[in-house]
A and B are shown apart, each in its own frame.
Chain A
């Protein structure tokens, strides 16, 4: 964690020391569930975190304020052994990047809200009411700065349920988020995917190709399946012949268990050396009061 803080301070200046410490502590203190155990950013090599974070900052030219719009999440690699860092660009960041092209507002609507959807050239009207139990959809309304063109995109209930499932399965490959608000925020990001994949996206590409490409990359993170990693690695001799296969014996469950569980004292079985000519058993043991086999076949 210290190295990540140092990295961010070197990029954004020591005057942001307090904010950087708070932010990185928040990233590292967040807990996620994987199978029956907890994982966090601490399970990822710190240098790997720095490399991925630096790549994101440099690629998208992120300012210090922008990195508040990043979600740093642990994801299970396809080899089931490693945890890698998945950076998700949250809607607030994408919105701010698109602000030179359009203004947007977005959110969910619930079963208690009053909604009116016309077509893609009009805004979706949502009158919020208290007491909603479930989300029935999500929407994004926008207006192009230059032309004043209005647009809207939306997802249905079935679609957002699928997107919620995809966060755990596709995006993080089995790692589950505990924080519902973060999960909702991640799902909202899909609205920008649909925006890019519309006539307005084409309009953006014609007006500012670089911004279009950047937004497209940001919204596409995690839409692909988790990168496949070879479970086994072939071993080649110096003359190029395949002479063996190196395989990983343990998966993440074993690794985490080894890290977190304290080994309990194992009672060694005593060895029965002679059972002839005696009424009972004779056992060789150095430990006093240790359970021994009293008769063959029973303990």
Chain B
């Protein structure tokens, strides 16, 4: 079943042409890498389906793969931009395109109106002033670590406008708690959560980028293109990287 899809020349041509059209300055080699990534992702879906003894819905799978190309994102695992997620709905596997933060960042930066974006965390000892969602917040840190109390992200438009988003400490702790619970569920060990490692601060910065995407999607008219699963995946499941 999957082999037919992978060897379907028309499908491959559609994928490559969509990607070339929607990914800024992509080279033919990068497009082929993205196709290889898509093939690998489809094979993973097949393995997972065999393991769960359910059939593969090739029509739905094809749609998800084409959607990655339409978003201008690569399924090449080395790029860590997006992936094919699946949920067992009782009747079979339901496929969804999952977005990693690098993919979300690429979508935002590829928008013709966007100039720059960034995110940062705020420590208890930092001087910080939230100036609303249309200005960059003020932050001044002395470079010494202190308890993380919030995180923010900002996006600067080419016309000088700014959009900012703030995640409070309770938002961050809820995200962290969810990840720790998932680590316990899957590995039986809370320490498998990256939030309990040295990269905790970085993870909160990444969460601020995801929040920035959710905040700016309406402003940048991205909502219709990406449907609600972007928000669902980014908010609830989302990959850690």
The digit string for B133-158, where 1 denotes a CB below 8 A from any CB of A, is: 00011011111110000000010100
Q: CB within 8 A of B118: which of A120, A124, A136, A137?
A: A120
- Chain B contacts for A206, CB-based, 8 A: 24-25
B182-229, CB < 8 A from A: 197-199, 201-202
A251 at the interface (CB under 8 A from B): no
The digit string for B148-175, where 1 denotes a CB below 8 A from any CB of A, is: 0000001010000000000000000000
B40 at the interface (CB under 8 A from A): no
- B238 → chain A closest CB, angstroms: 17
**Contact of A115 with B143 at beta-carbon distance under 8 Å, contacts A161-B198, A206-B24 already known:** yes
A291 at the interface (CB under 8 A from B): no
- Chain B contacts for A162, CB-based, 8 A: 197-199
A77-120, CB < 8 A from B: 109, 113-120
Contact across chains for A117 and B27 when beta carbons are under 8 A apart: no
Q: Chain A, interface size: which category?
A: 20 to 34
Pick out which of these stretches binds chain B: A53-61, A194-202, A231-239, A263-271.
Answer: A194-202
Q: Which residue of A lies closest to B27 (CB)?
A: A209
Q: Chain B, interface size: which category?
A: 20 to 34
Q: Which residue of B lies closest to A206 (CB)?
A: B25
Contact across chains for B143 and A136 when beta carbons are under 8 A apart: yes
- Chain A contacts for B199, CB-based, 8 A: 159, 162
Interface of B is mostly: mixed
- Chain B contacts for A118, CB-based, 8 A: 139-140
B120 at the interface (CB under 8 A from A): yes
Contact across chains for A198 and B109 when beta carbons are under 8 A apart: no
A156 at the interface (CB under 8 A from B): yes
Q: Which residue of A lies closest to B116 (CB)?
A: A199
A170 at the interface (CB under 8 A from B): no
Contact across chains for A197 and B145 when beta carbons are under 8 A apart: no
**Contact of A159 with B198 at beta-carbon distance under 8 Å, contacts A197-B102, A198-B118 already known:** yes
- A109 CA to B141 CA, complexed, in Å: 13
- A142 → chain B closest CB, angstroms: 13
Q: In the complex, given contacts A118-B139, A121-B118, A156-B145, what are 12 additional A-B residue pairs having Cβ atoms less than 8 angstroms apart?
A: A109-B143, A115-B141, A116-B141, A116-B143, A119-B139, A120-B118, A121-B156, A136-B143, A159-B199, A197-B102, A199-B109, A199-B117
Closest 8 CB pairs of A and B: A115-B143, A120-B118, A162-B198, A117-B141, A158-B198, A202-B109, A199-B116, A137-B143
Interface residues of A (CB under 8 A from B): 109, 113-121, 124, 126, 136-137, 149, 154, 156-159, 161-162, 197-199, 202, 205-206, 209
Interface residues of B (CB under 8 A from A): 24-25, 27, 102, 105-106, 109, 116-120, 136-137, 139-145, 154, 156, 197-199, 201-202
